[in-house]
């Protein structure tokens, strides 16, 4: 796989060589073969089992190149299979040590292909490059110390010969950073911590570009300031900028860290050559609800007042859908994409939330029994209006498709201090539904107005990514075990298939032997069964699993 293959990934149809079907992350394939009229003929071709006694959440997006499909699975495993038959070519198991500290299930969201390598991150915070043909380890690099809470769950991104990655560990007081390595050797080119005050690295030398001082943090709190870059990034060739989201500040108890706490809960744009932060936009300054701002920032052309604006959009965990100028981070608009939000009254004209202090958990030193502060019911819950699961942009309908959840939480604050390898929260919480009939909600959103054009409601929380196709279809999975297709214009459900376990992964599509294929990993898990509170109870009956499902539209059916 070459840089050119990756740069053209959004346009080519016979392979998928990047997370997001192109580094911009639109998750749109131009393949037109499959439509609402012939989708009845979309049939399973094979199902490949990930095996093993342990299953858990399967969030991986596969890659396909030259008849080989590459996919990662729970517990830091990876496979190459024949993309036509599902026959196994190789399997890799990272054999994790005791004591790893992933906060939110043993997931992996996918790998990257470059040159002759398949590269992915493991839960013990290592980056592994395998020979794509044999699955043998070519190199393996320590990202950081898993005993301090560092972990790795997202898919690496390749930008012009460099591997761009982040880190997980925001619940353990790590400091988030974005890194670039030489994609062939794995050697570090630059490291960019995202929390003010920290010094990065460029070509082996110290480099301070995050913020000169820790001015938006009190005292020493920036030292364990969080901002984990745990959900991967996107890249836009037109602006030559890498876009990354940053997670919650540490600890969750916001009374311990007055100030904006930059750049936690933000989007930042970085120079791919140096890692310099070119702009930052903080969606939740002084976050008090674990509203990690890691949600992917997706580039698109916004038509407004007869002009085309180089924009980007992101559906934030805090419940607002933001459109920014992707050249400079300037705020364009923010509109709610969930039906209820109470922590902010609105987003002001400068892009800053107008807080409603009634819904920030109370200061434990001034309320409650002095240990446990007074609880509030805040909406959305800390698992967010949207969590990790990627949105999709369809350039035909000019709509964004956002997998969201409608829920709230009881949350209170407690005292806490940093201890290596221990949870650094200072908060207790229980997630609760806010509607009787549904939590999950897939919404088609017009980015020019923020208006919801259609909505599909799902009983269980939606936890999988979205895919759009040139044939006018929108795909996503449900915890109830269905891969579903909708008419991208109207939202009408036009197809579904039961895979036997929850679908919390991102589907892909590709063309092979003149036929359109669709594939998705299956396996219930992720953060909901672990942290979902009362919501987790309602999903307790969902069976675990671990497999990859491939579907195709046979030629005979397509031409009928």
Ligand X SMILES: O=C(O)c1cc(C(=O)O)c2c(n1)C(=O)C(=O)c1cc(C(=O)O)[nH]c1-2
Residues of this chain that bind Ca ion (CB under 5 A): 170, 247-248, 292
Q: Which of 462, 527, 550, 553 binds ligand X (CB under 6 A)?
A: 527
Q: Which of residues 391-420 bind ligand X (CB under 6 A)?
A: none
Quickly count: other Cβ atoms within 10 Å of residue 113's Cβ: 25
Quickly count: other Cβ atoms within 10 Å of residue 30's Cβ: 17
Q: Which stretch binds ligand X (CB under 6 A): 79-87, 163-171, 391-399, 401-409?
A: 163-171
Q: Is 59 in the site for ligand X (CB under 6 A)?
A: yes
Q: CB of residue 58 vs ligand X: minimum separation in angstroms?
A: 10
Q: Find which of ligand X, Ca ion, none residue 296 binds, CB within 5 to 8 Å per kind.
A: none
Could you tell me the CA-to-CA distances from 467 to 25, 37, 76, 354, 486 in Å, in that order?
A: 10, 18, 24, 33, 10
Q: Is residue 468 marked as binding? A: no
Q: Which stretch binds ligand X (CB under 6 A): 100-108, 110-118, 253-261, 483-491?
A: 100-108
Q: Find which of ligand X, Ca ion, none residue 397 binds, CB within 5 to 8 Å per kind.
A: none
Q: Is 387 in the site for ligand X (CB under 6 A)?
A: yes
Determine the longest span between alpha carbons in the chain, in angstroms: 72
Nearer to ligand X, 400 or 424 (CB): 424
Q: Which stretch binds ligand X (CB under 6 A): 103-111, 475-483, 491-499, 505-513?
A: 103-111
In the complex, residue closest to ligand X by CB: 170
Q: Please give the Cα distance from 60 to 464 (Å, whole number).
A: 10
Q: Is 153 in the site for ligand X (CB under 6 A)?
A: yes
Hey, what are 61's tokens? 């997006």
Q: Which of 104, 175, 194, 338 binds ligand X (CB under 6 A)?
A: 104
Q: Please give the Cα distance from 487 to 503 (Å, whole number).
A: 20
How long is the chain?
560
Quickly count: other Cβ atoms within 10 Å of residue 49's Cβ: 12
Region for residue 327 given its phi and psi (left: phi exceeds 0; alpha: psi -120 to 50; beta: otherwise) = alpha
Q: Is residue 388 marked as binding? A: yes
Residue 14: active-site member: no
Q: Is residue 98 marked as binding? A: no
Which of the following is catalytic: 290, 316, 357, 374? 290
Q: Which of 105, 144, 260, 296 binds ligand X (CB under 6 A)?
A: 105
- How wide is the angle at C-alpha 247 spanned by C-alphas 243 and 253, nearest 5°? 155
Indicate the burial class of 308 (C-beta count within 10 angstroms; 0-12, 13-18, 19 or more).
exposed
Q: Is 439 in the site for ligand X (CB under 6 A)?
A: no
Question: Hunting for tokens 């038959």 — which residue is that?
Answer: 85
Q: Is 429 in the site for ligand X (CB under 6 A)?
A: no
Q: Is 103 in the site for ligand X (CB under 6 A)?
A: yes
Task: Assign 405 to helix, strand or coil.
Answer: strand
Indicate the burial class of 43 (C-beta count within 10 angstroms; 0-12, 13-18, 19 or more).
exposed
Could you tell me the CA-to-CA distances from 226 to 171, 192, 266, 485 in Å, in that order?
A: 7, 14, 12, 37
Q: Please give the Cα distance from 193 to 209 (Å, whole number).
A: 9
Q: Find which of ligand X, Ca ion, none residue 10 binds, CB within 5 to 8 Å per kind.
A: none
Q: Which of 159, 338, 383, 485 binds ligand X (CB under 6 A)?
A: 383
Q: Which of residues 208-247 bind ligand X (CB under 6 A)?
A: 228, 230, 247
Task: Assign 287 to helix, strand or coil.
Answer: coil
Q: Is residue 387 marked as binding? A: yes
Q: Please give the Cα distance from 127 to 163 (Å, whole number).
A: 10
Q: Which of residues 282-311 bind ligand X (CB under 6 A)?
A: 292
Q: Which of 388, 429, 475, 497 binds ligand X (CB under 6 A)?
A: 388
Q: Is 430 in the site for ligand X (CB under 6 A)?
A: no
Q: Please give the Cα distance from 118 to 101 (Å, whole number).
A: 24
Q: Is 334 in the site for ligand X (CB under 6 A)?
A: no
Q: Is residue 430 marked as binding? A: no
Q: What would the x/- binding string for ligand X be over residues 168 to 207, using CB under 6 A?
A: xxxx------------------------------------
Q: Is residue 437 marked as binding? A: no
Hey, what are 202's tokens? 């460029």
Q: Is residue 59 marked as binding? A: yes
- The residues pairing with 68 across neighbouring beta strands, listed in sequence order, are 65, 82
Task: Assign 445 to helix, strand or coil.
Answer: strand
Hey, what are 342's tokens? 């109470």
Nearer to Ca ion, 140 or 420 (CB): 420
Please give the annotated binding residues for pyrroloquinoline quinone, written as ranges.
59, 109, 153, 387-388
Q: Annotated active-site positions, please? A: 290
Residues that bind ligand X (CB under 6 A): 59, 103-105, 107, 151, 153, 168-171, 228, 230, 247-248, 292, 383, 387-388, 526-527
């Amino acid at each position: 796989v070459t840089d050119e293959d990756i740069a053209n990934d959004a346009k080519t149809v016979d392979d998928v060589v990047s997370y997001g079907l192109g580094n911009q992350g639109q998750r749109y394939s131009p393949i037109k073969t499959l439509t609402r009229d012939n989708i009845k003929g979309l049939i399973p071709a094979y199902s490949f089992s990930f095996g093993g006694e342990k299953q858990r959440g399967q969030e991986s997006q596969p890659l396909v190149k030259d008849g080989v499909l590459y996919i990662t699975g729970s517990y830091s495993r990876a496979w190459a299979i024949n993309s036509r038959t599902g026959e196994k070519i190789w399997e890799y198991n990272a054999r994790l040590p005791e004591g790893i500290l992933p906060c939110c299930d043993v997931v992996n969201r996918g790998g990257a292909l470059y040159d002759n390598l398949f590269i992915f991150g493991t839960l013990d915070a290592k980056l592994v490059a395998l020979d794509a043909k044999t699955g043998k380890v070519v190199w393996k690099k320590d990202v950081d110390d898993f005993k301090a809470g560092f972990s790795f769950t997202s898919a690496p991104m390749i930008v012009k010969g460099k591997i761009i990655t982040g880190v997980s560990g925001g619940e353990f007081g790590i400091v988030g950073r974005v890194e670039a390595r030489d994609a062939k050797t794995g050697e570090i080119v630059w490291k960019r911590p995202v929390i003010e005050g920290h010094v990065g690295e460029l070509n082996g030398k110290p480099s301070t570009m995050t913020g000169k001082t820790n001015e938006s943090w009190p005292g020493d709190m920036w030292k364990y300031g969080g901002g984990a870059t745990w959900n991967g990034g996107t890249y836009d060739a037109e602006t030559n900028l890498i876009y990354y989201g940053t997670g919650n500040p540490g600890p969750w108890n916001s009374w311990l860290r007055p100030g904006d706490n930059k750049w936690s809960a933000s989007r930042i744009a970085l120079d791919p050559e140096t890692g310099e932060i070119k702009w930052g936009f903080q969606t939740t300054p002084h976050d008090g609800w674990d509203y990690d701002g890691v949600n992917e920032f997706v580039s698109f052309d916004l038509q407004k007042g007869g002009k085309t604006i180089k924009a980007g959009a992101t559906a934030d965990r805090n419940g607002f859908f933001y459109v920014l100028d992707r050249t400079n981070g300037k705020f364009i608009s923010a509109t709610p994409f969930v039906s209820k939000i109470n922590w902010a009254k609105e987003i002001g004209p400068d892009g800053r939330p107008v807080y409603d202090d009634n819904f920030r958990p109370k200061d434990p030193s001034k309320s409650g029994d002095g240990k446990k502060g007074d609880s509030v019911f805040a909406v959305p819950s800390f698992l967010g209006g949207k969590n990790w699961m990627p949105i999709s942009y369809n350039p035909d309908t000019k709509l964004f498709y956002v997998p969201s959840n409608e829920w709230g939480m009881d949350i209170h604050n407690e005292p806490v201090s940093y201890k290596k390898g221990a949870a650094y929260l200072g908060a207790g919480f229980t997630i609760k539904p806010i509607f009787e009939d549904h939590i999950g909600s897939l919404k088609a959103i017009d980015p020019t107005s923020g208006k919801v054009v259609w909505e599909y409601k799902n009983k269980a929380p939606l936890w999988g990514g979205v895919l759009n196709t040139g044939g006018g279809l929108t795909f996503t999975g449900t915890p109830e075990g269905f891969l579903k297709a909708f008419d991208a214009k109207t939202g009408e459900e036009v197809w579904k298939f039961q895979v036997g376990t929850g679908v919390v992964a991102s589907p892909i599509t590709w063309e092979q032997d003149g036929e359109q294929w669709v594939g998705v990993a299956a396996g219930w898990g992720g953060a909901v069964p672990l942290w979902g509170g009362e919501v987790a109870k309602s999903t307790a009956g969902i069976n675990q699993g671990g497999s990859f499902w491939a579907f195709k539209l046979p030629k005979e059916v397509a031409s009928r």
